[in-house]
């Protein structure tokens, strides 16, 4: 758990690992962005043996490619790979399957209701048309024509709505491209492979997937310091009860980052 009085002190050989996608995602909650330049400067200390920043690169996107160059220029060890955009079919995903099915049922019911209303409007229009032919006065005829015009407008709107619903249903069947560039495996691998080189792991990421890594390192006698943003720390870390584990909110470092 987070120790609010805990101060970030680097006394022993430390490996700094930054899961940049995770850190970048903190900005909406924090209302400020972690600056890579300030981050490097703050942790540019003799006890930190390596400063590794893991990030995805969107090939062909200048801003993304320039970021990799900038990170290396600052002094970080850049660990990157190409961002993938695999297709995801919502109606086939277990998590979304029921939601999409329920939505389709609602849309189908709306279409059915619209069609029934359209038929009723047509019948009503026919009856009014008969009244028009037998109208007793010009005033009645004008009133009936206004009603008939309103019915036509409403019928057209219902038909357009059915067309829109049909288009929406077709779009829901199309694949959605999801950004994929996780570094769980790479970070875990690197942290374990170099475990003999450091005594403390300083991890910038609240992703609960790394809790297993933290537990494993603690069993090996390593200290693990987790830096996270409020609301971005996985509940898995709450299970860790050890004097070798510390969780520090990045807000405590706001004045330096």
To the nearest 10 degrees (0 to 180), the angle between helices 138-172 and 94-133 is 160
pLDDT tens-place string over residues 94-103? 555 665 566 6
Q: Are 226 and 246 in contact (CB under 8 A)?
A: yes
**In the structure, what pLDDT confidence band is assigned to residue 176 with cuts at 50, 70 and 90?**
low
Residues 104 and 231 in one domain: no
Residue 209 lies in a domain: yes
Residues 171 and 201 in one domain: no
- Host domain of residue 156: 90-177
Which has more confidence, 138 or 192?
A: 192
Residues 99 and 74 in one domain: no
pLDDT tens-place string over residues 58-79? 888 899 899 999 999 999 999 9
CATH code for position 238:
3.40.50.1010
Please state, in angstroms and rounded to a whole number, the distance separating the CA atoms of residues 108 and 111.
5
Q: How many structural domains does the chain have?
A: 2
Show the tokens assigned to 22: 């995770």
Cβ-proximal residues to 145 (8 Å cutoff; 6+ apart), any chain: 132
Residues 203 and 229 in one domain: yes
Single out the residue in 177, 196, 223 at which a domain terminates: 177
Which has more confidence, 227 or 1?
A: 227
Residue 4 lies in a domain: no
Mean pLDDT over the full length of the chain: 80
Residues 185 and 80 in one domain: yes
Nearest to 80 by CA among 107, 63, 58, 113: 58
pLDDT tens-place string over residues 213-236? 999 999 999 999 999 999 999 999
Residues 33 and 18 in one domain: yes
pLDDT (average), residues 11-17: 96
Residue 1 lies in a domain: no
CA atoms within 13 A on the CB side of 56: 16
């Amino acid at each position: 758990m987070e120790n609010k009085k805990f101060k970030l002190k680097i006394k022993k050989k430390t490996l700094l690992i930054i899961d940049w996608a995770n850190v970048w995602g903190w900005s909406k909650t924090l209302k400020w962005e972690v600056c890579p330049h300030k981050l490097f400067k703050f942790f540019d200390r003799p006890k930190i043996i390596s400063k590794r920043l893991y990030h995805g690169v969107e090939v062909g996107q200048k801003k993304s490619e320039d970021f990799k160059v900038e990170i290396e220029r600052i002094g970080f060890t850049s660990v990157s790979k190409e961002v993938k955009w695999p297709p995801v079919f919502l109606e086939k995903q277990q998590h979304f399957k029921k939601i999409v099915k329920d939505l389709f049922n609602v849309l189908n019911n709306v279409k059915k209701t619209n069609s029934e209303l359209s038929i009723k409007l047509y019948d009503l229009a026919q009856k009014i048309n008969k009244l028009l032919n037998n109208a007793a006065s010009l005033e009645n005829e004008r009133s009936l024509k206004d009603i008939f015009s309103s019915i036509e407008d409403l019928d057209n709107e219902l038909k357009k709505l059915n067309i829109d619903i049909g288009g929406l249903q077709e779009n829901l069947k199309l694949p959605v491209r999801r950004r994929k560039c996780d570094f769980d495996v790479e970070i875990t691998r690197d942290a374990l492979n170099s475990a003999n080189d450091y005594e403390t792991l300083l991890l910038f990421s609240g992703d609960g997937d790394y809790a297993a890594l933290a537990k494993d390192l603690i069993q090996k006698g390593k200290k693990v310091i987790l830096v996270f943003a409020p609301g971005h720390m996985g509940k898995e870390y709450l299970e860790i009860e050890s004097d070798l584990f510390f969780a520090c909110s990045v807000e405590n470092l706001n004045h330096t980052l």
